[in-house]
Amino acid sequence: MRVLVTGIAGFIGSHLAERLLARGDHIVGLDNFDPFYARRLKEGNLAGIRPHAELHEGDLLDASLCDRILREGEFDVIVHLAALAGVRPSIAQPARYQRVNVEGTAILADLAVRHGVRRMVFASSSSVYGDTTSVPFRESDRADAPVSPYGASKRSGELLLRSMHLVHGLAVTSLRFFTVYGPRQRPEMAVHAFCRAIDRGEPVTVFGTGTSRDYTYVDDVVAGTVAAVDRENETFSIYNLGNSHAVALPRLVSTIAEALGKEARVVQGEQQPGDVQQTFASVDAARADLGYDPKVPIEEGVARFVAWYRERKPEP
């Protein structure tokens, strides 16, 4: 199978590319190495991929580059993971998030149609649900009140792709990822940031009280994404990819501290704009249609993350 993976140098993209390469797929990757975090970390993500895949450095908004890649690629499917990530940064840069996450998706989908690519897998987010009080979150929920520009951009991407399906017949599988963690996780995300702080004896700042998240180990998310890649469909579909277990913030901190064998010094901060109280996925639809079956509980996943963290070279 010939697969274009956008955002290939990122956390999830690099894991997915490795999984697809291991089974013999032909992988072409696109990444612009956005300076949201250090380029050297993304280069490290590509260490096992670069010799075996065709990689392009460039931006989704560069329509001529994307056109050339798609014209020459003869792809069976596009896995579109590239995006500006992060709830809080999106509040400071709402226009940029819309340009990259919505316009970039529109450029890619339009070119997919023009060059005869039949299927697309889109990385969406649990952020589309907003601060809903109904749990677990189900794909049938309206998802019309995201509380951050990032969440709004992901929901806009879903709606855009639904229209491309209706007008042009592009088959789209939208995967709503729930707080993915594991080796290579972005440095600012909770598991990584808390682990770093506890390991260094620095205080852990937690924002808000009573919050919980559906932390999902990267191997489970990759398995669900591969199943979506393999699913021959002609529809527009949405699936939650979560662990279907909400973990309260104090439990997450204590689990990381225990895995490190160190004490956590917790500092309480005010809840931040754009944050939600909880996320909790129903995965019934993904289980039924994709065979999705998350297997890694938080204790095991955190232990694996800590092992990876300790094996890495020290951060500056």
- In angstroms, the CA 236 to CA 21 distance is 26
Q: Write a three-state SS string for the chain.
A: CEEEEECCCCHHHHHHHHHHHHCCCEEEEEECCCCCCCHHHHHHHCCCCCCCCEEEECCCCCHHHHHHHHHHHCCCEEEECCCCCCHHHHHHCHHHHHHHHHHHHHHHHHHHHHCCCCEEEEEEEHHHHCCCCCCCECCCCCCCCCCCHHHHHHHHHHHHHHHHHHHHCCEEEEEEECCEECCCCCCCCHHHHHHHHHHCCCCEEEECCCCEECCEEHHHHHHHHHHHHHCCCCCEEEEEECCCCCEEHHHHHHHHHHHHCCCCCEEEECCCCCCCCECCECCHHHHHHHCCCCCCCHHHHHHHHHHHHHHCCCCC
Please report, for residues 22, 123, 137, 205, 218, the alpha-carbon distance to residue 249 in angstroms, rounded to integers and kept in the order given: 35, 25, 19, 11, 19
Q: Which residues contact 295 (CB under 8 A, 6 or more apart)?
A: 219, 220
- Residue 150 catalytic? yes
Residue of 150, 181, 215, 239 marked active site: 150
Q: Find the distance separating the first CA and the last CA of the chain, reported in whole Å.
A: 40
Active centre residues (catalytic): 150
